[in-house]
């Protein structure tokens, strides 16, 4: 009931905001997870959430990372991005940001369909209509990622901003960000997030924010032309986690397409993209640690920083049986989710044994329930039912305080960041109703 109240309370009509105060708009990958939670309350409303996001799709196929509602309250807002004025592809309405986020959307549509098929005839019809209505747009979104973020066909999808990874200030990005040097002409700005999250240790630093804003300046100067952005952004990293999500979401979308009569050539594209990205994620694994690695395309070097993203092959598959087992054991073992200091056996974003571990700081240590859900979903898909069940049970323990926080301090279990975070409530609803 608490989780349902969070989603209903954050619902402003056609969108459930990512959080009531800190994020009062729609975020792309949040919306996908939120729609999964909504499916347990009202399948039609779940479909609406996906439709609202797709209505903001750019002409070239990109799904933007923020769709702005009509309230302000978040920086950077639409004025700072200037997408409608600068880009021919961006919609005039609704206003959006100019970057994207991990492509979890097809996973959400697939899950909504599963939930809908267990419901009434009307639910089932609503779920199937959603697949039919959203398939082409989702195909175009995947095609955009393949064409513009992997123009050389490597299988690894590039991100041009840490925000695109969804894991904004992960230590994975420290190296690539060190080459992002804000110019003296960076327009001034005032952060709003620090008004709402008073403890500075829980949010990215001001130095990080200057870099985030500088990358937006660079994109504005390229008029958000995706080929130009790929060429000119001072941050360009092939992201294993995004690539793994892309692979498995392409599989899901291909399966839905095959069932619902999508063009065979488009289904074949998705299967080829999935196979290529799955192989590339598997091939990125470090010979010494077994963890998958991002590739910094500007520095032309592997990023050898160990974070939760290194377990990306458990999302996309494609490892040998032995390597997969070893990676699974590592994730649930004493360096990660099974670390003896943790209150719940849920993977932290950085291992407490790593030098870079910061127990309160955003993507540098805390546990994120939504990420645990994604690993749990992937475990179940790949036949690791016991491990999926552990993630479910342990995350439910973690969020038992009812705060539905954005993230949690792993050693004490303290709720951090935003409260009433929609995607946290959404994944809990999905986990409670199986
Ligand atoms: C920037 C909304 C979003 C999530 C991201 C998370 C955080 C935004 C911010 O909040 O990012 O996009 O202001 O920090 O890192 O994953 O989608 O919940």
Which atom of ligand 1 lies at the shortest distance from residue 19's CA? Answer: 18
**Do 238 and 158 contact (CB within 8 A), yes or no?**
yes
What is the percent of the chain where pLDDT is above 90?
99
Nearest residue by C-alpha to atom 3 in ligand 1: 27
> pLDDT tens digits for 96-147?
999 999 999 999 999 999 999 999 999 999 999 999 999 999 999 999 999 9
3-state secondary structure the chain: CHHHHHHHHCECCCCECCCCCCCCCEEHHHHHHHHHHHHCCCHHHHHHHHHHHHCCCCCCCCCCCEECCCCCCCCCCHHHHCHHHHCCCCCCCCCECCCCCCCCHHHHHHHHHHHHHCCCHHHHHHHHHHHHHHHHHHHHHHHHHHHHHCCCCCCCEEECCHHHHCCCCCHHHHHHHHCCCCCCCCCCCCCCHHHHCCCHHHCCCHHHHHHHHHHHHHHHHCCCCHHHHHHHCCCCEEEHHHHHHHHHHHHHHHHHHHHHCCCHHHHHHHHHHHHHHHHHHHHCCCCCCCCCCEEECCCCEEECCCCHHHHCHHHHCCCCHHHHHHHHHHHHCCCCCCCCCCCCCCCCCCCCCCCCCCCCCHHHCCECHHHHHHHHHHHHHCCCHHHHHHHHHHHHHHHHHCCCCCEECCCCCCEECCCCCHHHHHHHHHHHCC
- The answer, yes or no, to whether residue 359 has pLDDT greater than 70, is yes
CA of 35 to the centre of ligand 1 (A): 17
**Do 178 and 300 contact (CB within 8 A), yes or no?**
no
> pLDDT tens digits for 289-346?
999 999 999 999 999 999 999 999 999 999 999 999 999 999 999 999 999 999 999 9
Please compute the mean of the pLDDT values over residues 228-248 and round it to a whole number.
98
Q: Ligand 1 test: best mutation among 163, 204, 208, most atoms within 8 Å of CB?
A: 163
**Do 270 and 142 contact (CB within 8 A), yes or no?**
yes
Beta bridge partners of 26: 67
In this structure, the residues whose C-beta lies within 6 A of any atom of ligand 1 are 18, 23, 27, 29-30, 65, 163, 166, 168, 193
Active site (catalytic) residues? 168, 406
Q: Tell me whether strands 407-408 and 301-303 are parallel, antiparallel or unpaired.
A: unpaired
CA of 166 to the centre of ligand 1 (A): 6
CA of 418 to the centre of ligand 1 (A): 10
CA-CA distance, 338 to 245, in Å (whole number)? 24
Please compute the mean of the pLDDT values over residues 268-282 and round it to a whole number.
99
Global pTM exceeds 0.85: yes
> pLDDT tens digits for 387-397?
999 999 999 99
Average pLDDT over the chain, rounded to whole? 97
Please compute the mean of the pLDDT values over residues 24-44 and round it to a whole number.
98
Nearest residue by C-alpha to atom 10 in ligand 1: 23
> pLDDT tens digits for 197-213?
999 999 999 999 999 99
What is the percent of the chain where pLDDT is above 70?
100
Return the sign of the alpha-carbon dihedral for residues 331, 336, 338, 344.
negative
In order of 92, 220, 353, 388, the CA distances from 341 in angstroms are 50, 45, 10, 21
pLDDT band at 374 (very low <50, low <70, confident <90, very high): very high
Predicted pLDDT at 433: 86
pLDDT band at 358 (very low <50, low <70, confident <90, very high): very high
**Chain centre to alpha carbon of residue 223:** 25
Of 134, 116, 121, 127, the closest CA to residue 40 belongs to 116
Which atom of ligand 1 lies at the shortest distance from residue 423's CA? Answer: 18
Predicted pLDDT at 434: 62
CA of 356 to the centre of ligand 1 (A): 21
- The answer, yes or no, to whether residue 406 has pLDDT greater than 70, is yes
């Amino acid at each position: 009931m608490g989780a349902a109240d969070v989603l209903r309370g954050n619902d402003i009509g056609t969108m459930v905001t990512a959080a009531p105060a800190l994020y009062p708009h729609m975020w792309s990958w949040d919306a996908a997870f939120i729609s999964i939670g909504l499916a347990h309350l009202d399948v039609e409303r779940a479909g609406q959430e996906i439709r609202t996001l797709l209505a903001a799709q750019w002409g070239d196929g990109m799904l933007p990372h923020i769709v702005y509602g009509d309230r302000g309250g978040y920086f950077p807002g639409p004025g700072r991005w200037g997408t409608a004025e600068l880009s021919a592809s961006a919609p005039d309405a609704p206003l959006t940001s100019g970057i994207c986020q991990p492509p979890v959307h097809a996973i959400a549509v697939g899950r909504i369909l599963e939930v809908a098929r267990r419901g009434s005839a009307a639910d089932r019809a609503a779920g199937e209509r959603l697949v039919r209505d959203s398939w082409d747009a989702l195909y175009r979104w995947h095609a955009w990622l393949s064409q513009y973020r992997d123009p050389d066909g490597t299988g690894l999808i590039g991100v041009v901003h840490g925000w695109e990874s969804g894991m904004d200030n992960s230590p994975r990005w420290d190296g690539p960000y060190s080459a992002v040097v804000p110019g003296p002409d960076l327009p001034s700005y005032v952060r709003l997030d620090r008004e709402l999250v008073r403890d500075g240790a829980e949010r990215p630093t001001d130095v990080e924010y200057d870099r985030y804003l500088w990358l937006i300046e660079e994109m504005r100067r390229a008029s958000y032309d995706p080929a130009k952005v790929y060429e000119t952004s001072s941050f360009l990293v092939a992201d294993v986690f995004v690539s793994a999500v892309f692979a498995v979401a392409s599989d899901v979308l291909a399966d839905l397409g095959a069932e619902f009569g999508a063009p065979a050539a488009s289904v074949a594209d998705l299967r080829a993209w999935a196979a290529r990205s799955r192989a590339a994620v598997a091939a990125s694994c470090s010979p010494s640690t077994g963890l998958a690695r991002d590739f910094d395309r500007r520095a032309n070097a592997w990023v050898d920083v160990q974070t939760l993203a290194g377990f990306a092959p458990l999302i996309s598959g494609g490892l040998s049986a032995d390597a997969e087992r070893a990676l699974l054991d590592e994730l649930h073992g004493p360096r990660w989710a099974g670390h003896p200091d943790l209150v719940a056996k849920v993977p932290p974003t950085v291992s407490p044994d790593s030098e870079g571990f910061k127990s309160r700081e955003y993507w540098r240590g805390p546990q994120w329930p939504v990420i645990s859900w994604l690993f749990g979903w992937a475990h179940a898909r790949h036949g690791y039912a016991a491990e999926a069940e552990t993630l479910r049970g342990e995350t439910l323990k973690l969020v038992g305080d009812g705060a539905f926080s954005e993230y949690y301090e792993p050693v004490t279990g303290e709720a951090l960041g935003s409260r009433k975070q929609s995607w946290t409530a959404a994944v809990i609803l999905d986990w409670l109703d199986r």
